[in-house]
A and B are shown apart, each in its own frame.
Chain A
Amino acid sequence: MKSKGLSSLVSIVVIAVGLLAATIAAGNKPLLGLDLKGGAEVVLEPVDDSGLSGSDLDDALDQAAEIIRNRVDGLGVAEPDITVQGQRIVVQLPGIDDQERALEIVGQTAELRFRPVLDVISEGSIEALASAGESTDGGSTDGGSTDGGSTDGEATPEPDGTPTAEVTPDGEATPEPEGTPAAETTTEPEATPEDGATRQATTPDAEATPDAETPAADETPSAEETPAAEETPPAEATPEDANLLGPVGDDSPYDGPFDCNPNPLRTDEMVSRVELGEGIVTAPADDAACDIVILTGQFGDETFHWLLGPTLLTGSSLDGATSSFQSIEYVVRPTFKGGAEGIDKFNEAATACYNQSTDICPSGQLAIVLDGTVVSAPNVNAPVFDRDQITISGSFDQQEADDLAVVLRYGALPLRFKDPAEGGFVRVVSATLGKDSLRAGIIAGLIGFAIVALYMIAYYRLLGLAAILSLLVSGSLLYTIVSFLSETRGLALTLAGVTGLVVSVGTSLDTNVVYFEHLKETVANGRTLRSSVDRSFPVAFRTIFWANLASLIGAAILYFLTAGSVRGFALMLGLASILDLVATYFFLRPVVRLIAQRSSVVERPGLFGIPADLVTSGQEVTAR
């Protein structure tokens, strides 16, 4: 019995101290909520017209949150926190202290742009280049492409050609299971193999061929020269130089200035450098500002880079989009608005791409760009379309088709949201005031703790000391858990949470008070201190257990049925209730028992806050 208590005591102390030390050593600490560290908070509430409910709505909200998260991440906001709470999306942007900027970041409408594809640069080609000479050809690269062939098959960045799809007038969709860029153009009689070959020779795979017979190999860094390439002239080239450099890759589809690069390299050089993995990619945020951009898109496991021309039309030309299953595959059907700003604009772009106009759209592909990311780059298979008779196909699976339709329909978000200033919530907290609140909370907590500790020790003496130690044990466990949840789940400690913790200092001592009072009563009833210690605990613990269970039920209800700060409070309340029980059972019980073993204490019950005469008066009861 004694050793059992002792082992639980030792374990809990070791666990509590160990976890606390590990938490501190790992640098984990509770994340601070916006009200404590400053920043902006925007709450988005969906407009009720989506017709979605239940799990569909939840899915849509999750999807929207994910899209917003990507957007915010792309903009480089530090530690953003985007969560779905109930039927709202809460976006917290620490460090953003201007409301307009916050709204801009969260943005009601994503930027959907249609840009012509000038060139496709696949990740695969970068790998191929990197492994040049060692013919250990990454499985992802088409084996044939490394031999520098210019047969149209190799133009495909990826064998299954996911990055590209095709746009066809309704009913003419000729599903191309392979969906390779080259294969698609072949649906058009004009796209003769020769044509294809010349153009496709310009595609990255051809260019990236290790034994690059690129005409200007001396200027374009080859794979072998990679290290040096970083310091070589191209980087220093002035704008004039750039223009004077003349056509380097005369097979390049586009060799005009690359306007979104700090160093005015020519575009083909940019392409080469991207292929070298030097990461010269337009920041998604610059998508709107630049004409010629290099953007990425994720297809399957591969990241592709695309060299894209100026925006031909934006999402505002679109009216809607649906996805459906057509004959053998899933397709997406966008609908454009009528008139000059709608279908006419699209047709203008379609004509240019269909004709593979060298100036505008040499590849014949029209990329759909969302927030600076290429979501699809279908080939255009007709010069003119009716506004509601358009099909995008490209061996999509159902999910891909749905996602693309969502992107086209809503620009970005699968739901429409109310203007945050009308139906939602925008808050900007200055970092100074936040820090003041945090400081006040911590000081109040420490003072409160000190006073309570004095009171407990004055009233219960050694027992009071044990109670304070027990509080420290549960406190360090709580700190560990909160830090861990902060680290893994993004749980942030808000002012409400801090104050909740301050209050819990007092209430969690109740467990001890109930026990000690019961102990005193049992002693008064004539029992010895030692047997009272053992007998009182189960009774007191049972009471505390049932009372804490009620708190826990309350916390759970609040947690699941409310949102925002109330939720954070409920979590703290629940955690504190559980840890209170843990610390009482595994720490307080053995500690009190251990103290009661010492004869010096038994002789002087005053050390337990039990008046010596109480023991006698208990005996008087017996005598009566």
Chain B
Amino acid sequence: MSGFSNAYRNNTNVNFPRMWPRAALVIGALLLISVVALLVRGLNLGIEFEGGAAWEVDAHGVSTAEARDALRPLGLADARIQTGDDILRVRAELDQSDQKVDEVSQALSDLTGTPLDEVNQTVVGASWGDEITKKAVRALIVFFIVIAIYITLKLEWAMAVAALFAVANDIVVTVGIYALFQFEVTSATVIAFLTIMGYSLYDTIVVFDKVKDNEGRLAATGKLSYPGLMNMSLNQVLMRGVNTTVTSILPVLSLLLVGSLILGAVTLQEFGIALLIGLLSGALSSFFIAAPVTVWLKERFDSRYAEARERAVARAGGTKEAREAVRSQVSSVEDAKAQLQGPDADFGTGGAPRGRKQGKRR
């Protein structure tokens, strides 16, 4: 059967553990790029964070050079001037001089022929952004602590740690891309970051809930290794993850598309880019960060699974190669399912499965 057909039947048999090492390389590389971009290029902080004055006006074909000439008499020849989508944007380090702010508005209005009352202007004090940042950071810390406690209580601590790892990764990658491409960070961006965090966390919890559910029924057998359990669970929620990601990303794509077609909807575009990256990262991080981190933690700190693993290695010969083999070798999902669910398996209630069959490799 074709891949789609299998996927449509929820009959996937992807060996995720085998993909984890390679995924780790890719993720590591992305993180490295993000961190380097952040350190080297820094974030292009919007006016809300840095203070100053900004204007936005319909350009009506006026070029940046013309705008610069027009602003020179006001002593603002070095202002940051951009055009895009026929919108002229000017940003300057003006602070309290209200007089000048209005003069610039007037000058831009004269230059572009846009009525004065259609010139957007923003003046932000320098200390404003500090306060926003401080608040956001505080909210983030509280958020992480509360969510960690929540997942620990609801699921388990290893999953809490893993979920936060995944969320942190998503944020770092998104922020890194902002640094790399020097997108402007505005308060809309901050909201996009928060959306991503929420989505990533939500996605991870759905995956982990499945793992926990399967583990509950598996505990009685003590046969399946934790990676095997995780792999089976991941396959079970794979199509759900794909579909959810598709339904989440489609509106964002439409946001991007419409934002680029309709003038003046720059905020939508910025928001769209951040969300697109973040949603993709959030969906992938559940499978390629949260899952392996949980497995790693469980095999190290949960004696049951550590022993199961050692037994498997021993059975395979106890050599280094055997260890490698065990790591990448997971019983097929078919086997795992057969092991876990008999024909009458009660998937809904978590009751003990009946009609279990022994897996071939165990």
Asked if A and B bind, the verdict is yes
A interface list, Cβ under 8 A from B: 35, 43, 45, 86, 88, 97-100, 103, 418-433, 436-437, 439-441, 443-445, 447-449, 451-452, 455-456, 459, 495-496, 499-500, 502-503, 505-507, 509-510, 513-514, 517-518, 520-522, 524-526, 535-536, 538-539, 542-544, 546-551, 553-555, 557-558, 561-566, 569-570, 573, 611, 613-614, 617, 621-622, 624
Can you list 15 A-B pairs with a CB-CB distance of less than 8 A? A88-B131, A431-B118, A432-B118, A440-B258, A444-B251, A448-B255, A455-B250, A503-B275, A507-B199, A513-B240, A518-B347, A535-B346, A554-B194, A554-B201, A562-B136
> Would you give the shortest CB distance from B109 to chain A, in whole angstroms?
11
In chain B, what residue has the closest Cβ to A440? Answer: B265
Stretch of B66-74, B95-103, B168-176, B289-297 contacting A (4+ beta carbons < 8 Å) = B95-103
> Would you give the shortest CB distance from A510 to chain B, in whole angstroms?
4
Is the CB–CB distance between B249 and A495 below 8 Å? no
Cα–Cα distance between A554 and B194 once the two chains are bound (Å): 9
Interface: B259 (CB within 8 A): yes
Name the interface residues of B265-310: CB closer than 8 Å to any CB of A.
Answer: 265, 267-268, 271, 275
Is the CB–CB distance between B191 and A447 below 8 Å? no
Is the CB–CB distance between B264 and A436 below 8 Å? yes
In chain B, what residue has the closest Cβ to A449? Answer: B251
Cβ-defined partner of A45 (8 Å) among B120, B128, B213, B249 = B128
B259 contacts which chain A residues (CB < 8 A)?
440, 444
Cα–Cα distance between A614 and B10 once the two chains are bound (Å): 9
Is the CB–CB distance between B9 and A500 below 8 Å? no
Is the CB–CB distance between B143 and A517 below 8 Å? no
Interface: B356 (CB within 8 A): no
Stretch of B19-27, B33-41, B146-154, B223-231 contacting A (4+ beta carbons < 8 Å) = B146-154
Is the CB–CB distance between A427 and B187 below 8 Å? no
Is the CB–CB distance between A513 and B244 below 8 Å? yes
Cβ-defined partner of B347 (8 Å) among A420, A510, A535 = A535
Cβ-defined partner of B191 (8 Å) among A449, A500, A502, A563 = A500
B265 contacts which chain A residues (CB < 8 A)?
436-437, 440-441
At the interface, is chain B mostly helix, strand, loop or mixed?
A: helix
Is the CB–CB distance between B187 and A550 below 8 Å? no
Closest 9 CB pairs of A and B: A448-B251, A506-B248, A440-B265, A622-B343, A535-B348, A436-B264, A561-B139, A448-B254, A444-B258
Cα–Cα distance between A156 and B270 once the two chains are bound (Å): 66
Could you list 15 further interchain pairs (A-B, Cβ under 8 angstroms) beyond the known A422-B127, A551-B198, A562-B136?
A423-B125, A424-B124, A425-B123, A428-B122, A431-B118, A440-B258, A448-B252, A449-B251, A509-B247, A525-B343, A543-B209, A550-B147, A550-B201, A554-B201, A611-B5
Is the CB–CB distance between A524 and B10 below 8 Å? yes
B138 contacts which chain A residues (CB < 8 A)?
561
Is the CB–CB distance between B147 and A554 below 8 Å? yes
Is the CB–CB distance between A421 and B142 below 8 Å? no
Residues A569 and B194 in contact in the complex (CB < 8 Å), given A433-B56, A440-B265, A507-B202: yes
| Chain B residues with a Cβ closer than 8 Å to the other chain, count | 93
Is the CB–CB distance between B240 and A514 below 8 Å? yes
Residues A506 and B249 in contact in the complex (CB < 8 Å), given A433-B264, A517-B10, A558-B139: yes
Is the CB–CB distance between A566 and B187 below 8 Å? yes
> Would you give the shortest CB distance from B277 to chain A, in whole angstroms?
13
Cβ-defined partner of A510 (8 Å) among B117, B132, B187, B247 = B247
Is the CB–CB distance between B251 and A445 below 8 Å? yes
Interface: B2 (CB within 8 A): no
Is the CB–CB distance between B150 and A520 below 8 Å? no
A548 contacts which chain B residues (CB < 8 A)?
202
Cβ-defined partner of B268 (8 Å) among A440, A520, A555 = A440
Name the interface residues of B30-88: CB closer than 8 Å to any CB of A.
Answer: 48, 56, 58
Cα–Cα distance between A436 and B214 once the two chains are bound (Å): 50
Interface: B324 (CB within 8 A): no
> Would you give the shortest CB distance from A365 to chain B, in whole angstroms?
39
B11 contacts which chain A residues (CB < 8 A)?
524, 617
B123 contacts which chain A residues (CB < 8 A)?
99, 420-421, 425-427
Cα–Cα distance between A90 and B197 once the two chains are bound (Å): 27
A554 contacts which chain B residues (CB < 8 A)?
143, 147, 194, 197-198, 201
Cα–Cα distance between A613 and B6 once the two chains are bound (Å): 12
Cα–Cα distance between A509 and B241 once the two chains are bound (Å): 12
Name the interface residues of B214-258: CB closer than 8 Å to any CB of A.
Answer: 236-237, 239-240, 243-244, 246-255, 257-258
Interface: B195 (CB within 8 A): yes
Is the CB–CB distance between A611 and B136 below 8 Å? no
Is the CB–CB distance between B150 and A550 below 8 Å? yes
Cα–Cα distance between A427 and B122 once the two chains are bound (Å): 4
A507 contacts which chain B residues (CB < 8 A)?
199, 202, 244, 247-248
B112 contacts which chain A residues (CB < 8 A)?
none
Is the CB–CB distance between A522 and B187 below 8 Å? no
Cβ-defined partner of B98 (8 Å) among A421, A436, A510, A570 = A421
